Chain A
Amino acid sequence: MKPEKPQVANSLETAVSESLEGLAFIEFDTVEMRPELPKESNEYYISSIEIFTPFKGKIFLICPEQFMENTIEAITGQELEGNDNPIIVDTLNELLNTICGRFMIDLLPAESEFDFGLPIFENISHEHEIFEISKDAVVMAFCYEDNTVYGVFKCL
């Protein structure tokens, strides 16, 4: 099966919104589908997770640095000291792991089997590489104060 774009967009919106609200008490100001990721040089942390069953796909979570620092504080109750990369990687991966589960539950009919891998922190920093992620993908933009978080799904 290959999921339809509108269903993917709805499920991605639900999964990201519910997960961030449940884990970090963040309610996004606006959520919208975008044709592509921005070609800008903002600093982002990026994690991806591969879906194996019942379709092949990949979800990316792309978070601005400032957003991640605030989110880590909200989730763990600990202030981030300097550029604590292991905590950033762990929190981003755990967020995406939770999002992927919610996404599959929302997208698939009840009692469907699904399987996905472990989240991987992506070493992508150049804006061109980030933009490339959005080719043939569903891109959802989640705006919170001055930050925009992106959830991206693409079929493999």
Chain B
Amino acid sequence: MSIKILIVDDSSTARSIVKRALEISGIDLGNVGEATDGKNALEILKETKYDLVFTDLNMPVMDGEQLLKRIKSSPKLNEIPVVVVSSMTNKSRENKLLQEHAEKIFSKPISLPELQEFFETYFVDERG
């Protein structure tokens, strides 16, 4: 089963970096969508179904934490796992995001072994 992923970051370079990391991580990657901020991501999610969302935190218009809250409080979207990729992470912020139901938090630059480990664990859990 190929996975459809939406990447949310105001930097096109950052989106390219995450996309490339996903491509070389070995997962069966389906459609990869891109959004420039949280508001843009919500608009896209209304129209298109994605299996996972990778989001930055620090963004104009609507930041990643707001996006996470909006997805998790939406009956239509709350099943979508949200992964945070940010340079602004520390332990207490990570814990807060996990309490808000983020699936995983990656520090920038995203580590390929860590990404692969996440997918291995994630799919094992998903299969039960």
Secondary structure call for the A interface: helix
Chain A residue at minimum C-beta to C-beta distance from B16: A76
By a beta-carbon cutoff of 8 Å, the part of chain B in contact with chain A is 11-14, 16-17, 20, 58, 86-93, 107-111
In whole angstroms, what is the CA distance A125 to B120 when docked?
48
Q: Which residues of A contact B93 (CB under 8 A)?
A: 113
In whole angstroms, what is the CA distance A19 to B93 when docked?
21
B54 CB → nearest A CB, Å: 15
Q: Which of A72, A100, A110, A113 contacts B87 (CB 8 A)?
A: A100
Q: Which residues of B contact A114 (CB under 8 A)?
A: 88, 90
Q: Which residues of A contact B111 (CB under 8 A)?
A: 22
Q: Which residues of B contact A91 (CB under 8 A)?
A: 13
B14 & A94 in contact (Cβ 8 Å cutoff): yes
B18 CB → nearest A CB, Å: 11
Known contacts A22-B111, A105-B107, A118-B58; A112 and B12 CB within 8 A of each other: no
Question: Is A101 at the interface (CB under 8 A from chain B)?
Answer: yes
B90 & A112 in contact (Cβ 8 Å cutoff): yes
A-B contact count (CB 8 A): 65
Bitwise, A98-112 to B at CB < 8 A (1) or not (0) is 101110110010111
Q: Which of B87, B90, B91, B92 contacts A98 (CB 8 A)?
A: B87
B70 CB → nearest A CB, Å: 22
Q: Can you name 15 extra interface pairs (CB under 8 A) apart from A87-B13, A105-B107?
A: A18-B109, A22-B109, A22-B111, A72-B13, A78-B16, A90-B12, A90-B13, A94-B11, A94-B14, A101-B87, A102-B108, A105-B90, A111-B91, A113-B90, A118-B58
In whole angstroms, what is the CA distance A118 to B87 when docked?
11
A100 CB → nearest B CB, Å: 6
B92 & A113 in contact (Cβ 8 Å cutoff): yes
By a beta-carbon cutoff of 8 Å, the part of chain A in contact with chain B is 18-19, 22-23, 72, 75-78, 87, 90-91, 93-94, 97-98, 100-102, 104-105, 108, 110-116, 118
B87 & A75 in contact (Cβ 8 Å cutoff): no
Q: Which of A18, A77, A97 contacts B16 (CB 8 A)?
A: A77
Chain A residue at minimum C-beta to C-beta distance from B12: A90
A19 & B109 in contact (Cβ 8 Å cutoff): yes
Chain A residue at minimum C-beta to C-beta distance from B23: A77
In whole angstroms, what is the CA distance A113 to B89 when docked?
9
